[in-house]
């Protein structure tokens, strides 16, 4: 399920950006197109996780896949920017119904086995990241040869994704009221969860901004659509490699260093992208950002699921809302900066957000240290 949906999303968003360029939209509208898909994603994610705790995971997943199919068909037939923006917004709401229940469903299937949950999360993350990795590659090639008919690729994956929820077991779904106690105090688990969410917001801000603005920047630098797709392919490749490493070892868990390093690496990658016009240096920058994004994502959801089985869907919804907020504000801020300044300015805005995230992590870590010292 996660591979099919994210392959479709990654392909759809790049094809939609190429379609917007055909329609002659401004940089700000390009940013809005990257943002529109996540405007409703944030509030819907918060509700979807809670409702899946009460109504079950499968109905939410089926409804989401159906709405994706209908909205992606509509985007294929759209002939102006307003229609693209409208249906991208509907698509974002549909995805908000999908990810929190799916992550909670995965934890239900893992039971109370912590190592099994870690392995399953890693495989889950590899699957959706592989979809993100090959989606832009397929979109760039398809647009070059098929133009608007490239929309049929995400439409086809949405159709296939409807079958998967029907074939997946329900899982335990709250039959266990509490997960086993973590090896660290719950207050510390919560602090690490908040630190991970700070890092996840900053990295997804950068990830969303790149997805919305790099096609236009690449065109201004004389890159072909296929080259743009290959460069963005690196983001997914770095993500999948990082997720694979998290499956091999869990030593990254409950360590402040990796969480701080992800934000610092993202900041440096953004600064490099702002200073270069070389496709190879963009590859290096995007590889760093993609790897950092993966570690922040898996950290945030791992700590959210470690707390307890009670409220698992709700916390997964908050996690996805944080991710969605970064993917909303990143493209919108990037589009504004490109409109007012230049096409490289969005990278500087992303670096500033990373600096603020580092400050937030420091505040949370300081408070955690003080509370731990006072704890019995």
Instruction: Note down the domain range covering 82.
Output: 2-374
How many structural domains comprise the chain?
Answer: 1
Cα–Cα distance measured from residue 210 to residue 203, given in angstroms and rounded to the nearest whole number: 11
pLDDT grade, residue 371 (50/70/90)?
low
Q: Extract the tokens encoding 17.
A: 């950006």
Which residue is it, tokens 């939410």? 60
Give me 328's structure tokens.
Answer: 């909303």
Q: What's the whole-number average pLDDT of the chain?
A: 85
Query: Is residue 265 left, alpha or beta, with left meaning phi > 0 and alpha meaning psi from -120 to 50?
Result: alpha
**What's CA 344's distance to the chain center, in Å?**
22
Q: What are phi and psi of 68, to 5 degrees?
A: -60, -45
Q: How much is the pTM? A: 0.77
What is the rounded distance in angstroms from the CA atom of residue 180 to the CA atom of residue 306? Answer: 9
pLDDT in the model for residue 175: 43
Q: Is the pLDDT of residue 368 over 80?
A: no
How many other C-beta atoms can be found within 10 angstroms of the C-beta atom of residue 19? 22
pLDDT at 46: 85
Query: Which pLDDT band holds residue 308 (cuts at 50, 70, 90)?
Result: low
User: Domain with 278 in it: what CATH number?
Assistant: 1.20.1250.20
Q: Does residue 23 have a pLDDT over 80?
A: yes
């Amino acid at each position: 399920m996660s591979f099919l949906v994210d392959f479709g999303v990654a392909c759809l968003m790049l094809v939609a950006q190429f379609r917007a360029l055909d329609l002659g939209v401004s940089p700000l509208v390009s940013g809005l197109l990257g943002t529109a898909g996540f405007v409703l994603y944030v509030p819907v994610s918060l509700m979807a996780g809670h409702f899946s705790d009460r109504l079950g995971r499968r109905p939410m997943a089926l409804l989401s896949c159906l709405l994706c199919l209908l909205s992606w068909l509509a985007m294929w037939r759209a002939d102006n920017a307003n229609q693209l923006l409208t249906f991208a917004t509907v698509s974002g709401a549909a995805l908000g119904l999908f990810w929190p229940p799916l992550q909670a469903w995965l934890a239900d299937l893992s039971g109370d086995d912590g190592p099994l949950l870690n392995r399953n999360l890693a495989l889950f993350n590899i699957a959706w990241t592989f979809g993100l990795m090959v989606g832009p590659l397929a979109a760039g090639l398809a647009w070059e040869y098929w133009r608007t008919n490239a929309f049929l690729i995400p439409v086809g994956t949405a159709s296939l994704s409807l079958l998967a929820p029907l074939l997946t077991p329900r899982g335990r779904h709250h039959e266990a009221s509490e997960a086993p106690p973590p090896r660290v105090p719950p207050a510390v688990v919560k602090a690490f969860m908040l630190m991970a969410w700070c890092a996840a917001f900053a990295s997804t801000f950068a990830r969303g901004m790149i997805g919305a603005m790099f096609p236009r920047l690449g065109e201004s630098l004389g890159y072909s659509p296929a080259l743009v797709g290959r460069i963005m392919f690196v983001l997914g490749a770095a993500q999948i490699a990082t997720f694979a490493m998290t499956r091999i070892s869990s030593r990254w868990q409950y360590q402040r260093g990796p969480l701080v390093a992800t934000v610092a690496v993202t900041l440096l990658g953004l600064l490099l992208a702002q200073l270069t016009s070389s496709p190879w240096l963009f590859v290096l920058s995007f590889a760093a950002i993609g790897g950092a994004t993966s570690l922040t994502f898996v950290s945030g959801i791992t700590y959210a699921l470690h707390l307890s089985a009670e409220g698992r869907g709700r916390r997964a919804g908050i996690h996805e809302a944080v991710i969605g907020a970064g993917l909303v504000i990143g493209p919108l801020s990037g589009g504004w900066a490109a409109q007012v300044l230049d096409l490289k300015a969005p990278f500087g805005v992303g670096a500033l957000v990373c600096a603020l995230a580092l400050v937030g992590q420091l505040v949370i870590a300081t408070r955690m240290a003080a509370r731990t010292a006072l704890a019995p």
